[in-house]
Each structure stands twice: as structure tokens, then as C-alpha cells.
Amino acid sequence: MSYNLLKGKKGIIFGALDSNSIAWKTAERVHEEGGTFVLTNAPVAMRMGQINELAEKTGSQIIPADATSLEDLQNLVDKSMEILGGKIDFVLHSIGMSINVRKGKHYTDQNYDWTQKGTDVSAMSFHKLMQTLYKSDAMNEWGSIVALTYMAAQRVFPDYNDMADNKAYLESIARSFGYFFGVDKKVRVNTISQSPTPTTAGSGVKGFDGFIAYAEKMSPLGNATALDCANYTVAMFSDLTKRVTLQNLYNDGGFSNMGVSDAVMKTFMGEE
Ligand code: NAI
């Protein structure tokens, strides 16, 4: 269903790799709500080619950018304003990557070159992106910037590895930069903390299937899907959330406030 919540709004969406990506679903929903945007991803992800299908479907242009490169980000911001015909109202940072996770390197045995690369891609890229937008004065007043995160930033999930630290850093950047963006430009900055979701990045975490089933049983409303996340992001980009800023917003079916659920207890009582 469409409510025209983003009619006339212009933005940039990072991170649509394939149709499972949270950013892919978000782009579809933003389009349905009347928003126009530029799609971007790392040049290496572009080579897989699927993003073209999304661009066609949503009438969007694609600008490749490695989110760790200030040069690429500046080019992206400048070109996006040209294409969209003015300043930007919304930005989605939907980027995460850990080489330690990908290569099965244990948290207690990290390869720090990989750790640094993961931190740059998953967290510092958010600062670089916001600094580029801020210095270029590229955001309209009452614009909205959202990054996606996971609760391993607050609680221990051993197999989430160094991504837990990256997410803690990402969330802190949202608050710290959000202050300056709020005071100086009237722009809000938030993170959405999403349930485990079957995507390329998500499924890379060791034991993901068990993990997602556990979260499903723990959450009173069940796991939030990629579409649920897209809908929440649409709300955060809309004028209905103008003074929500510096927040880490859980979209997790209630998981983050649970201790234990009956469904999980049953598996320990031999009833299931
Ligand atoms: P995904 O694998 O579809 O998306 C990750 C994206 O990051 C890909 O499009 C990839 O090309 C992009 N990326 C990687 N390196 C990049 C770089 N240097 N420059 C630009 N883009 C780069 O997976 P998903 O799950 O949609 O991930 C989106 C966000 O959601 C990530 O921040 C992830 O940590 C977060 N998230 C995912 C959860 C899950 O269980 N899938 C749960 C909570 C948060």
C-alpha cells in the first residue's frame, strides 16, 4: 500500500546488492511512496549487475562509489544533486562487511588488517559519507539520514565477531554527527537496529540459521523482515518523524527487551 509519504523527496540509497538486500526492498518501497533517488554500491558489487534491474524498475540512475573513498563519495554527492536537481532529503547507509567473519577468523584471533578494512567499510564510511554531505551542504533542512545496525552493538553475540565492534562505532557516529547535523542543518540522523535477516551479509555470520530461528522464538512479534525494515525507513524519511534524531531504533519484534520466552523455555523443558 502506498501513502505518498515521500512525494517530492530526493535521496541516495546505498547497498542494494540483490533482491534479498534490505536496501533493495527499501528502494522499492521509497519508489512506491513517491520518492526519487540515486542508487549506489561498491564498483565490485556493480559487476554482478543485478542493480540494473532495480534501477530500471524504480526509474533511478546508478553511481558507483566505494563508501571508504572520499573521492568517490564527493563524486556521488555532486552527481546526485545534478541528477536529482537539487539538495537531498534522505540517505540510507546499508553497508556492512567483515573479512574476519567472511574468512572464519575467530574474534580472539583477528587479522588486524582485515579488522581495519571492516571498520572502514562498516562504520567509518558512515562518518565519511556524512562529512561529505555536510561540507557540501548537500542536505535539505528536515532531511533524514539512516544507517542499519544490529543489537550485537549492545549485547554479546559471539559469532558476530568484529562486526559487533563496528556496529557500536557506527551507532556512536550517528549520535556524534547527528548533533552537528541537527544544530547546523536541521537534519536528523538515526540507526535502525534490525532483526537477523536472510541476506548475503546476514547469512555470512556463522550459525546464522540457528540464530535466526532462536530470535524468531524469542520475539513476541517474530523477526522483522527486510520489508518491515524498509517500511520503518520510509517512516524515518517521511515528515512524520521530523524530530526523531540521535536514536538507535529497534525493529526486532521485541527481541531486545526479552529475557526468555515460553517458546524458548519449551525447548529446554523437553516439551518440543
Ligand atoms: P547485503 O549483503 O545485501 O548488503 C550489504 C551491502 O554492503 C552490499 O550491497 C555490499 O555491496 C555493500 N558494500 C560492501 N562494501 C562496500 C563498500 N566498500 N562500499 C559500498 N558498499 C559496500 O546485506 P544486508 O543484510 O542487506 O545489509 C545491509 C545492512 O543491514 C548492513 O549494514 C548490515 O550489517 C545491516 N544488518 C543486517 C542484518 C541481517 O541479519 N542481514 C541485521 C541487522 C543489520
Quote the ligand 1 centre to 21 CA distance (angstroms): 7
Instruction: Please indicate whether residue 41, judged by its CB atom, sits closer than 6 Å to ligand 1.
Output: yes
Specify the 3-state DSSP secondary structure of 90: strand
Instruction: Please indicate whether residue 17, judged by its CB atom, sits closer than 6 Å to ligand 1.
Output: yes
Q: Is the ipTM of this complex over 0.90?
A: yes
Residue that has been written with the C-alpha cell 562498516 in this structure: 122
- The whole-angstrom separation of Cα 109 and Cα 52 is 39
- The whole-angstrom separation of Cα 216 and Cα 14 is 27
- The whole-angstrom separation of Cα 5 and Cα 39 is 19
Residue 272: predicted pLDDT: 59
Instruction: Please indicate whether residue 15, judged by its CB atom, sits closer than 6 Å to ligand 1.
Output: yes
What is this structure's pTM? 0.98
- The whole-angstrom separation of Cα 122 and Cα 100 is 13
Atom of ligand 1 nearest to the CA of 208: 40
Residue 69, C-alpha cell as written in the block: 573513498
End-to-end CA distance of the chain: 38
For 114-145, how does the pLDDT look when each residue is reduced to its tens digit (9 = 90+)? 999 999 999 999 999 999 999 999 999 999 99
Atom of ligand 1 nearest to the CA of 151: 43
To test the ligand 1 pocket, which listed residue (22, 66, 154, 195) has its Cβ within 8 A of the most ligand atoms? Answer: 22
